[in-house]
Structure 1
């Protein structure tokens, strides 16, 4: 299995049989190295409904006939737009042919803004525990620091955690260090930073302060093997 990072909160997981995209914010994301018109995906996982996470889901899913797994209200909305969806909710898990998905809590908002300015409620935001080929990846999603992250770390043997550090809209570096300690992943990777000025951070400084496991900055397009 190969996991790669593509700016903001975009993560790609490639297995022997599937390509999985998480929060594919590509168009309008200058940090992303992917091309929304050509990127392949069998599955798209969405943590919540904000436009900088739903991103290019419509176009990618239609072109690839990809399955979209998302919180219930967001999945219903996307299904109404013609996408193939699987709705889930916080605490629920489901075993798919590509692996197991479990949604965790996240303390944030979740609404999609259409081109005409209409705001569509997207249900509760979440994090995603993705278990593939016996390895668990935790995409924490957009969230504040909350104590149940410690419980998730205790309940799961997490290989890699993608943790937001940008501040203002999510937890900042100091809170994210606590989160990394609680989650107890073998590798903690900072995400959701430097996409725009309000969330500018120094990811290398953050990674160097991670005390539990390894803090690792993944450059845009960089991949790791699990």
Structure 2
């Protein structure tokens, strides 16, 4: 009987071990709210995407920003403040390199927001190009986005300067998922081509409406891309971002795609293991 009880106790302990304790060899994806995500690769490399970590939707944002450790790459889709976010502070502290559309990277360097040595030709590109990064562990392809990309430069005086073309990112992780982060965009028919070169495992899609596509158009985008799993983002942070996950779920259901939805809570981490 003692052996049986010991076995049951060991199994119970396994069940309560935090998920992150079992993530070796797997990819971790954390949502900070708005369009901000952290991706930790199977080997422990860290990517931040549109890193506005202390946004209003993230009640633990200031603490998480202060405790942020290793960062290897900072990916920024376009020049708006809710996507550049905390990137200047994070880059200065961690020396992470900037991955961005070339025009945006050039502006961020010229305005003193990102150090020049962190934004070279090796980590910036444009539509259709694909970067081989971190010794081939990460590949990033630039995908069009229908939006704008002006950068607000702190003053005085506060200025608006051109930020080049907005983009989405198709991120391929070695021994991990292919992730499509749409950035801020409307639905466009060429989304159907996104997965042709790298079939998409996880799609991070804006649904907020007003400044991007809303839930129903986002559902149509999912139909075009055909990811295995889709996470809605860029909603609820401000009152005018009225799109909701419930509307998005309804749109997916109408298209026969409801089984692909994963609604993340702010601060939640999912672990992807093939």
TM-score normalised over the length of structure 1:
0.94
Q: Does 1:130 align with 2:171?
A: yes
Q: Which runs of 5+ in 1 are unaligned?
A: none
The corresponding residue for 1:37 is 66
Q: Superposed, which structure 2 residues align to 1:52-131 within 5 Å? A: 52-80=82-110, 81=112, 82-83=115-116, 84-85=118-119, 86-97=123-134, 98-116=137-155, 117-131=158-172
Q: Which runs of 5+ in 2 are unaligned?
A: 1-26
CA contact (8 A) 1:189 1:207 kept: no
Report the Cα distance in structure 2 between the residues aligned to 1:100 and 1:153, rounded to whole angstroms: 14
Q: Does 1:178 align with 2:178?
A: no
CA contact (8 A) 2:215 2:251 kept: no
Question: What number of residue pairs does the alignment pair up?
Answer: 225
Quick check: 77-86 or 161-170, which moved more? 77-86
CA contact (8 A) 2:216 2:247 kept: no
Deviations 1:22-43 (A, max 9, x none): 000123x111243333323221
The corresponding residue for 1:2 is 28
CA contact (8 A) 2:208 2:244 kept: no
> Which protein has the bigger helix share?
2
Report the Cα distance in structure 2 between the residues aligned to 1:105 and 1:217, rounded to whole angstroms: 25
CA RMSD of aligned residues (A): 1.5
The corresponding residue for 2:270 is 224
CA contact (8 A) 1:43 1:69 kept: yes
Deviations 1:39-86 (A, max 9, x none): 232210011111110011000011001111111111112334225013
